Amino acid sequence: MLRIVLENLKKTYVTGGETIRALNDVSLNVRPGELLAIVGYSGCGKTTLLRHVAGLDRPDSGALRFFDGETPLNGPGRIGYVFQEPRLLPWKTVYRNLELALRHVDVSAAPDRIIHSVLALVGLAAFADAYPAELSGGMAQRASLARALCRDPDLLLMDEPLGALDALTRTHLQMEIAAIRQVRPVTTLFVTHDVSEAVYLADRVVVMDRGGIVHVEDVTLPYPRDPAGVELAEVKARVLDTIMRECPLTLASIRLFANPS
Amino acid sequence: MRRHMLPFVLPVVLVAAWALASAAGKLNPYLMPPPWEVWDAGVDLARRGLLTKHIQASLIRVFVGFSVTAVCACVLALIVHLSPLLHDTLRHVLTVLRVVPPLAAIPLLILWFGIDEASKLAVIMLASFFPVYMNVLTALRQTDRRFVEMGQTLGLTTGEKIAHIFVPGALPGVITGLRLGFGYSWRALIGAELIAASAGLGYMITEAGEMARTDRVLVGILIIAVLGAAFDALFTALARRWTAWQALTVDDHGRV
Ligand SMILES: Nc1ncnc2c1ncn2[C@@H]1O[C@H](COP(=O)(O)OP(=O)(O)OP(=O)(O)O)[C@@H](O)[C@H]1O
Ligand SMILES: [Mg+2]
């Protein structure tokens, strides 16, 4: 299973004469098969971090290393990337979008079966032949989630994959993701604004602030977890406490606390 | 009345006004013959088989010239888009070629290619290449970078990115380019057929003009207009089909 080592990653952007440290000396070990949740204020560099791991951006300095056990790899292998926006090709139906994602995947079952079962998983069984423009925002996001899952990836990068969903669908999909992980754990970076979601799903929760990692919280509770349980509430309180302490409150925090649950 | 009939109302009104003005003796029949005389001239030309001959000659020229141009322009645009180096290399040469009116090059083209088909095709190509090339290139440029990134995470090859992302993404722009380019080549045809042609609608018009047959000139102009509009409608219909995924398509009046 894929292990990732991030060493002193730095990335600055210059926009309108202003220098933004999007990644400010990020070092992190992502353990094989773990789900690492990343939380932090809007603009703290979560998406930038995922893009670097996916190889879409190059760091100014620092290194990214990929391993299978102790064997160094050239890259992360097969990626399932749920972008922050759905990024479905508008000229292809949902089915064809997933089919394209399976193009370089040696699938054991017939692609058709895989696509239909993944679509059923995210509740889009009836929408295989719909065009992205015919989907609601939440449906498009679920289609994008299905596209990443159907690839049976070595690395899952999920950027607020459940952000646009209603509370019920979101809870449902959180449980599905937890269930899938019990059967087939994949090394995963999972960005979310919802601390409850983070502690429910994650093996570890990373708190980012202004391009840096300010805290890593271990969530050692075994699966299946009780989302309303006391243990989880304690972990959640600790994470929130760290955020309050480590990250100075700004207006940006409104977004973080807009999803209390 | 049905909405789709509306675009036909004004043409009918204009022809009716033309007929009324002619009947009332307001128009000099030598300069602007009445519609029925134009019709008779057209029927006469058709009876003698001249009309089909000229239309056929023109259509073949436009189709050959335009198809070659369209293919070259699309392919070149794709290559230039994928290779910034080539873009910089070709930049000034293409700009110079683009701003020179093709008709200005006719004397040269005649000297180079003679007075046969080749020089006429060259005029059509010069006239229609750039509208297609520029539109396709712009459309490719505007292909959403986010989709290209997405394709990259799926591990798509360059060929697959072209087939599944660049081409379909640019298709609306390609169709606009083809529509414009076809219009240009159709117009350039008259210029091309000024070059010692012995057949073609442009030739027919020039010849009729020299004999002061304004009725035949009008026949030629009307046929060019109707055929041009018909092909434009065909392109629009194809565009609708090929880009059905665009829930909203905009026609050239900005209506959706
Ligand atoms: N391509 C870019 N050009 C310039 N600045 C950028 C670029 N990408 C990101 N940034 C800047 O880097 C910072 C981090 O952005 P990033 O998208 O990683 O934030 P985020 O944590 O994902 O925020 P959100 O929760 O709102 O999605 C922001 O200040 C942003 O303005
Ligand atoms: Mg983001």
For residue range B12-50, what is the model confidence (pLDDT) as tens digits? Answer: 999 999 999 999 988 888 889 999 999 999 999 999 999
Kindly report the average pLDDT of chain B as a whole number.
87
**Within a domain: B2:** no
**Within a domain: B252:** no
Among A209, A225, A170, A166, smallest CA distance to A35 is for A225
Rounded CA separation A37/A243 (Å):
14
Q: Does ligand 1 come within 6 angstroms of the Cβ of A124?
A: no
Read off the pTM.
0.82
Q: Does ligand 1 come within 6 angstroms of the Cβ of A29?
A: no
**Within a domain: A106:** yes
**Within a domain: A178:** no
Could you say which of A56, A79, A103 has the minimum Cβ distance to residue B156?
Answer: A103
Concatenating the DSSP letter of every residue in B25-89 gives: T-S-TTTS--HHHHHHHHHHHHHTTHHHHHHHHHHHHHHHHHHHHHHHHHHHHHHHHH-HHHHHH
- Average pLDDT over every residue of A158-165: 92
Q: Confidence class of residue B196 from pLDDT cuts 50, 70 and 90?
A: low
Rounded CA separation A86/A66 (Å):
27
What B142-147 contacts at long range (C-beta under 8 Å, 24+ apart), as own/partner pairs, is B142/B170, B142/B173, B143/B169, B143/B170, B144/B169, B146/A83, B146/A85, B146/A87, B147/A87, B147/A89
Q: How big is the CA angle at A232 (ends A231 and A233), to the nearest 5 degrees?
A: 90
Q: Which single residue is written with the structure tokens 């094989």?
A: A32
Residue A147 belongs to domain spanning: 86-153
Rounded CA separation B133/B155 (Å):
29
> What are the tens digits of pLDDT across the range B221-230?
999 889 988 9
Q: Which residues pair with A216 in a beta bridge?
A: A206
Residue B226 belongs to domain spanning: 32-240
User: Which residues in B lie closer than 8 A to residue A78 (C-beta atoms)?
Assistant: 155
Contact of A77 with chain B, judged by CB distance below 8 Å, is answered with no
- Closest atom of ligand 1 relative to the A84 alpha carbon: 27
Q: Confidence class of residue B84 from pLDDT cuts 50, 70 and 90?
A: confident
Could you say which of A81, A87, A131 has the minimum Cβ distance to residue B245?
Answer: A131
**Within a domain: A101:** yes
Is the model's pLDDT at B191 over the cut of 50? yes
- Regarding predicted confidence, which is higher, B8 or A81? A81
- Regarding predicted confidence, which is higher, B210 or B241? B210
Is the model's pLDDT at A199 over the cut of 70? yes
How buried is residue B211: exposed, middle or buried, by Cβ count under 10 Å (0-12/13-18/19+)?
exposed
**Within a domain: A69:** no
User: Which residues in B lie closer than 8 A to residue A83 (C-beta atoms)?
Assistant: 146, 150
Query: For A24-41, what is the HEC assignment?
Result: EEEEEEECCCCEEEEEEC
Q: Does ligand 1 come within 6 angstroms of the Cβ of A43?
A: yes
Rounded CA separation B141/B86 (Å):
15
Best of B142, B146, B150 to mutate (most A CBs within 10 Å, chain A)? B150
Give me ligand 2 centre to Cα A30, in Å.
19
Is the model's pLDDT at B250 over the cut of 50? no
**Within a domain: B228:** yes
Q: Which ligand is nearest to the CA of A41?
A: 1
User: Which residues in B lie closer than 8 A to residue A89 (C-beta atoms)?
Assistant: 147, 150, 164-165, 168
**Within a domain: A193:** no
**A50, two tokens:** 């995922």
Give me ligand 2 centre to Cα A84, in Å.
6
Is the model's pLDDT at A255 over the cut of 70? no
Contact of B155 with chain A, judged by CB distance below 8 Å, is answered with yes
- Average pLDDT over every residue of A237-253: 76
DSSP A123: T
Write the residue with the smallest CA distance to atom 7 of ligand 1. Answer: A13
**Within a domain: A142:** yes
- Average pLDDT over every residue of B60-69: 92
Contact B155 A91 (CB under 8 A): no
Rounded CA separation B73/B131 (Å):
9
Write the residue with the smallest CA distance to atom 26 of ligand 1. Answer: A42
**Within a domain: B71:** yes
Can you give the CATH number for the domain in which B126 is found?
1.10.3720.10
Q: Does ligand 1 come within 6 angstroms of the Cβ of A47?
A: yes
**Within a domain: B229:** yes
Q: Does ligand 1 come within 6 angstroms of the Cβ of A141?
A: no
**Within a domain: A213:** no
**Within a domain: B8:** no
Number of separate domains in chain B: 1
Contact A87 B146 (CB under 8 A): yes
Q: Confidence class of residue B120 from pLDDT cuts 50, 70 and 90?
A: confident
C-beta separation of A56 from B153 below 8 A = yes
Q: Confidence class of residue B251 from pLDDT cuts 50, 70 and 90?
A: very low
Chain CA centroid to CA B136, Å: 15
Among A190, A105, A103, smallest CA distance to A153 is for A105
Rounded CA separation B178/B172 (Å):
10
DSSP B223: H
**Within a domain: B68:** yes
Number of separate domains in chain A: 1
- Average pLDDT over every residue of A45-51: 96
Amino acid identity, position A76? P
**Within a domain: A173:** no
Could you say which of B154, B156, B245 has the minimum Cβ distance to residue A90?
Answer: B245
Amino acid identity, position A241? D
